Structure 1
Amino acid sequence: MKINILHICISSCIALNLLLMSACNKLVQVDTPDHLVDSEVLFQSKKGYESAMAGIFIQMRALNLSMTNGGMEVYMGVAADEIYPTLVGGVEEEFFKNQLQSSNAVVSNFWIYAYRGIYRANLVIENAERDQMLSLTDRQNFLGQALFVRAFLHFHLCQLFGDVPYISSSDYRANAVKARDSKSIVMESLSKDLERAAELLPKEIKGERVMPSYYAAIALLAKVKLYQGQFEQVLDLTDEILSNKNFTLEMDLNDVFKIKSAEVIFQIESTVANTAVAMNFLPFSPTSKPMYVLQHDLLQSFEVEDLRKKAWTESNILDGTAYYYPTKYKNKLMTPIEECNVVFRLAEVYLMRAEALFGVKDYDQVLSTLNSLRKRAGLKDKKYVDAAELWEAIVNERRHELFVEGGNRWLDLIRWNTIDDVLGASKPSWQSFAKYLPIPSNEILLNTHLIQNPGYDN
């Protein structure tokens, strides 16, 4: 009998967690019991919970260019107006032309690995909620971490695919026939997850910020509220993060994405290699062509004095042509490990706050917030002229601060409802339905309750 990807059985899921754990001793300082292969045994000890959570995060970094391991930066950067592939053909060309097939392997992996992570998070949630063995602090911490993961993955799924099934249990039989929930319902459901996670997770900031904390939860919640237009709540949440002196902007732009960056709120750690982003964006040598090149319009949009262009882009000159590529992450080598996959950093919090301030028409504070980032970038303060120009300043600062980072440009164009104007002007083949990815055809075959997005064939 065919089983949908959501139907991963408990034993194989936990076995894979434990297999992956053998490659990771830094993420969690415990010896993983290699004989635990089912959830009833695994969740009878604190070490078991640690292994389960570590396995979730390892899987999020296991597949090169999955949704949580460079795929948003690379593929959604290509789909938007940030970068283009130098190799012709393949899945990259489908993304660049926004002509994706429902059988596209990248799209399928986005879906599969996200729901696999959600399934595992649900196992932790269900066991932690009924646990009688853990201390209250440990129980709350594991529960909060798993709720954060479930919200984080659902958030990206609904931004990329639109309506998606919101999966809140590990009952794969029920999940096998789960239809798509509206995007608004998914956003409301994951908001509740984040609110609960924030109540449970610790506020203490430790080490390299590779596990979800209270501040990671409220940073994602602020992003959700921003997308929903709930600006007052965004201001409350971002102000709380900005008031914590543990988070500070790195004045040297070359340090922003380092593993010990004071700007990082949450990052996904790997103990076996540096980031997939660097491995795909950085060329092999000064004489080789980068696989992905920054779009001319993006490069030209930077102000001349903008230090972000200098610090975060480089070029290789081949046959008289300069090929510019992103260098936010700077280590292409496997080791030593100097960078993690940054999920949230303080600069994005500033930008969310600026947009929320614009939403409540506090224009003076918008300028003050934007100018904090402009000062770090070596730029002069912006002056207020009118609301239209101020909004354009917000758009530009987001574009220049967050380029090829987390798929933010793609998501911004969708939520601002400007994607047709922007991509319609730069891509002759653009069609409006392409703002959402196709539901993978294999998933529709396995679950007939899933309905394909308009414009795509099953």
Structure 2
Amino acid sequence: MMKKILTYILFSSVLLLGGCKDFLDLPPKNQRAVTTLNDVKSALAGYLDAFVRTNTKPIIGPSPIITEAQNMMFEAYSDNFDFAGNMSQYINAKNIHAQEKFYANKLLFNDTETTDYIWNNYYAAIGFLNALIDQCDNLKDADPSELKRVKGEMLVHRAFYIFKLQQYFVPMDKEELGIPLYLHTGQEEIDIVMDRKKSSEIYRVVTGDLKAALEYYQSEGPNDGFNRFFNARFIQNLLAQVYWFKAESSAKESTDYEQAKVYAEAATKDVDALIPNTLVAFQNVQRNLNPDYPAVYQQSVSFGMLMPIYGSNLDYIGYSPNSLKVPADFFSLFDDTDIRKAAYFTGSVMSSTWPDGMVNGQKHIRIHLFTPEEAYLILTESQYRLGQQDQALATLNKFKGFRGAKAKAGLNGTELLQEIVNERRKEFFCDTDKRWLDLKRYNIGNIERKLRFFNKEYTVKVEAGDYHYALPIPLTELQENPAMVPNMGWNPIVF
């Protein structure tokens, strides 16, 4: 039986329990009474603080919201690097940043530690937010405007975590294999079964929560000193992402691209002057030096955590990995005038100053959520999918102009769609999970690797749309949750 949610919340780190049910059915530990709106805000502030200060970890959930290990795993599971050509740099006595097992797990699609972390921490955050959202509904004497601002903030965060779990762990073509989800109301429920929901049901929850938050924002506006995700542009940006991704899934509806277009247009309104169009401005955004740039920024606490995949900041004194190669077909996509080419590469190899332009690049993970660039490219594709090809090409060329890339002419049909996909690949190089999600969504992820680890040859072949594009459900979840259906195909490698 699901325990009744009392007026308590977690104020310490959640233990990694047996399954998502343990997070969604949130029992009180190290308790503090939550009886007023200020209590809810105080609890939420301990989570939101990590979105304000880079040296702070939240009281619950991942830190940062997309971790270094997560970023590197999705890059390793993608096609932007020539990993076979870089092996001598990765497995190298001068590489002090990672051991051979790290690369074996990442490059052979065997990183269960990271997938387990995502599952556990994202569900823990959802459970935490569920409990506080429930409590908001019981605060009858609270200021109604501030209550909407606080609840709206939490609805957007919860929607983000649910959406990401759906993107990561659910096959694109299996309607019945959505993620498990229970949004309790604080009332006692009996015999709750944590089975996999239909994907369409999950998307209804996500879009419903975001639209409710948007209504709260439009009626009340933000508390600028408190809110982080509760922002009309950010909410509409996330709605555009959700409808865009959903439109190619088993849950697709005929109106998805129209909805994606509406919200992408709203998210890009009056942003052109804020999008960087020079190399220095582009790099300054990466360092969070432009306070007007309309996105939520997070930076990892630990210096240099991305070096194992993206290159050592100590390459100038001979440490590996350095001068990392990318596939020739990817490099050839960049015009010489493209500011991204100068930001990413030295010659044809990865620049040691990526991503920030600083000598001996710092290699923090730098996350920008809800960027106008992402909304622009969603708008472009939505126009294309709605048969507005001339508008799509015009929007695409406008976007290319921000980056100094050459405009295209005469593109239509599949050529235009391919150019949109290529533009996304250039724009989101090394950006969290985006290329892996594109390989999944566009059904284009064919990868074959023959690599040697621990004096043994390994071959991994990933075909477009196969099981590699729905991450493995953690073993603890399968053991503790009899209703859970696994993602088939995964067989962990023991080195």
Q: Could you say which TM-score interval applies, normalised by the shorter chain?
A: 0.7 to 0.9
Give the structure 1 partner of residue 76 of structure 2. 78
CA contact (8 A) 2:428 2:434 kept: yes
Give the structure 2 partner of residue 328 of structure 1. 355
Matched, 1:232 2:243: no
DSSP-derived class of the 1:341 partner: strand
CA contact (8 A) 1:61 1:68 kept: no
Give the structure 2 partner of residue 258 of structure 1. 287
The within-5 A match list for 1:255-294 is 255-261=284-290, 264-269=293-298, 281=310, 283-285=312-314, 286=316, 287-290=318-321, 293=324
CA contact (8 A) 1:264 1:342 kept: no
Q: 1:395 is aligned with what amino acid?
A: V
Superposed CA deviations along residues 150-190 of structure 1, whole A, max 9, x for unmatched, are: 11011111111102112313879879841111333212221
Relative to structure 1, the CA distance from residue 449 to residue 190 in structure 2 (aligned partners, 3 Å threshold; closer, same or farther) is same
Relative to structure 1, the CA distance from residue 339 to residue 50 in structure 2 (aligned partners, 3 Å threshold; closer, same or farther) is farther
CA contact (8 A) 1:42 1:49 kept: no
Relative to structure 1, the CA distance from residue 73 to residue 272 in structure 2 (aligned partners, 3 Å threshold; closer, same or farther) is closer
Structure 2 residue runs without a partner (length 5+) = 15-28, 51-56, 92-98, 171-177, 248-255, 451-458
Q: CA deviation at 1:148?
A: 0.8
Distance 1:333 1:326 in 2: 6
Matched, 1:221 2:214: no
Relative to structure 1, the CA distance from residue 269 to residue 418 in structure 2 (aligned partners, 3 Å threshold; closer, same or farther) is closer
- For this pair of structures, how many residues does the alignment match? 425
Q: 1:51 is aligned with what amino acid?
A: A
Counting helix residues as a fraction of each chain, which structure ranks higher?
1
**TM-score (normalizing by structure 2):** 0.73
Distance 1:7 1:429 in 2: 47
DSSP-derived class of the 1:13 partner: coil
CA contact (8 A) 2:380 2:392 kept: yes
Matched, 1:368 2:361: no
Structure 1 residue runs without a partner (length 5+) = 18-35, 316-320
Q: CA deviation at 1:119?
A: 0.7
Relative to structure 1, the CA distance from residue 188 to residue 62 in structure 2 (aligned partners, 3 Å threshold; closer, same or farther) is closer
Relative to structure 1, the CA distance from residue 239 to residue 299 in structure 2 (aligned partners, 3 Å threshold; closer, same or farther) is same
DSSP-derived class of the 2:295 partner: strand
**TM-score (normalizing by structure 1):** 0.79
CA contact (8 A) 2:64 2:298 kept: no
Relative to structure 1, the CA distance from residue 197 to residue 64 in structure 2 (aligned partners, 3 Å threshold; closer, same or farther) is closer
Relative to structure 1, the CA distance from residue 448 to residue 55 in structure 2 (aligned partners, 3 Å threshold; closer, same or farther) is same
Give the structure 1 partner of residue 43 of structure 2. 51
Deviates more, 1:258-267 or 1:184-193: 258-267
The alignment yields a C-alpha RMSD, in angstroms, of 4.1
Deviates more, 1:161-170 or 1:145-154: 161-170
Give the structure 2 partner of residue 68 of structure 1. 66
Question: Aligned residues: percent identity?
Answer: 18
Deviates more, 1:201-210 or 1:131-140: 201-210
Q: 1:302 is aligned with what amino acid?
A: F
Relative to structure 1, the CA distance from residue 57 to residue 109 in structure 2 (aligned partners, 3 Å threshold; closer, same or farther) is farther
Relative to structure 1, the CA distance from residue 66 to residue 149 in structure 2 (aligned partners, 3 Å threshold; closer, same or farther) is same
Give the alignment partner of residue 380 of structure 1, picking from 388, 392, 406. Answer: 406
Give the alignment partner of residue 198 of structure 2, picking from 149, 166, 182. Answer: 182
Give the alignment partner of residue 355 of structure 1, picking from 356, 372, 381. Answer: 381
Matched, 1:14 2:11: yes
CA contact (8 A) 1:164 1:183 kept: yes
